């Protein structure tokens, strides 16, 4: 049986350089002759994604629990596509995933375990690269945009929860999740960040015979 491709998630605060680095990573994979597909959550193109988009732009108001479940449902919409791509040998790079889901909703005061529950058993990334930057440094890059959550206090709380998730993902008792979490210093130059990311991705590009893991299952 031929190996499946790895599933790579990029997480980070707003203005951490996440989207740019995702594109650079895809280009590097393709230049190395590896088929690769970039996915982004929220995926604003689906019906659920359009509801999320309106909420983020403050064009609608939704209960905190409800929007959390929509973000999760938006991942489940793509779950089988992710698995198919990996089995076909296409590396999947995701700009945000379930970790953003927990970090942002828990920052609004929803219980951590409640936030995790709807994402349990989603395809687990083989590698999560967390682009870490302080909210001060992120703001110095030109400030935040107009969307909901792009505020200093929110970003500080989100970062604290990402750090908690990092400790947990690398700790004991992760069961079948088997997802390495690597923190990358995103305050470096763009080139240094992409080099640091590539150093972790490059060893995986040959694929793996390990079955696709399930998040927190």
Report the length, in residues, of the chain.
217
Q: Stretches 9-17, 59-67, 113-121, 160-168: which one binds Mg ion (CB under 5 A)?
A: 9-17
Q: How many helices (H) and strands (E) does the chain have?
A: 8, 5
Phi, psi of 175 (to 5 degrees): 55, -130
When binding is defined by CB under 6 A, the residue of 7, 41, 130, 144 that contacts ligand FDM is: 41
Stretch that binds ligand FDM, among 95-103, 159-167, 168-176, 190-198 (CB under 6 A): 95-103
Stretch of residues binding ligand FDM (CB under 6 A), selected from 98-106, 110-118, 127-135, 190-198: 98-106
Q: What is the largest CA-CA distance in the chain?
A: 49
Q: How far is the CB of 38 from ligand FDM (least distance, A)?
A: 12
Judged by CB under 6 A, does residue 42 bind ligand FDM? yes
- DSSP-derived letter for residue 175 is T
CA–CA separation, 184 vs 101, rounded Å? 20
- Residue 160: name the closest of 108, 107, 215 by CA: 107
Q: Which of 5, 6, 14, 72 binds Mg ion (CB under 5 A)?
A: 14
Residues at the contact surface with ligand FDM, assessed by CB under 6 A: 14, 41-42, 56, 71, 96, 100-101, 104, 149
């Amino acid at each position: 049986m031929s190996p499946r491709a790895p599933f790579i998630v990029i997480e980070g605060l707003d203005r951490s350089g996440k989207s740019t680095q995702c594109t650079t990573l895809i280009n590097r994979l393709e230049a190395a002759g590896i088929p690769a597909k970039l996915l982004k959550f929220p995926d604003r193109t689906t019906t659920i994604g359009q509801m999320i988009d309106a909420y983020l732009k403050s064009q609608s108001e939704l209960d905190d629990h409800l929007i959390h479940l929509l973000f999760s449902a938006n991942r489940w919409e793509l779950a089988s596509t992710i698995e198919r791509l990996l089995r076909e040998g296409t590396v999947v790079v995701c700009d945000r995933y379930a970790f953003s889901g927990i970090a942002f909703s828990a920052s609004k005061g929803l219980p951590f375990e409640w936030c995790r529950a709807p994402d349990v058993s989603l395809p687990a990334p083989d590698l999560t690269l967390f682009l870490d930057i302080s909210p001060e440094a992120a703001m110095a890059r030109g400030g935040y945009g107009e969307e909901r959550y792009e505020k200093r206090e929110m970003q500080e709380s989100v970062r604290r929860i990402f750090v908690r998730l990092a400790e947990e993902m690398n700790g004991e008792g992760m069961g079948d999740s088997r997802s390495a979490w690597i923190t990358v210093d995103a305050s470096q130059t763009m080139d240094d960040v992409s080099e640091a990311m590539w150093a972790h991705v490059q060893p995986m590009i040959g694929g793996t015979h390990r079955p696709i893991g399930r998040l927190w299952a």
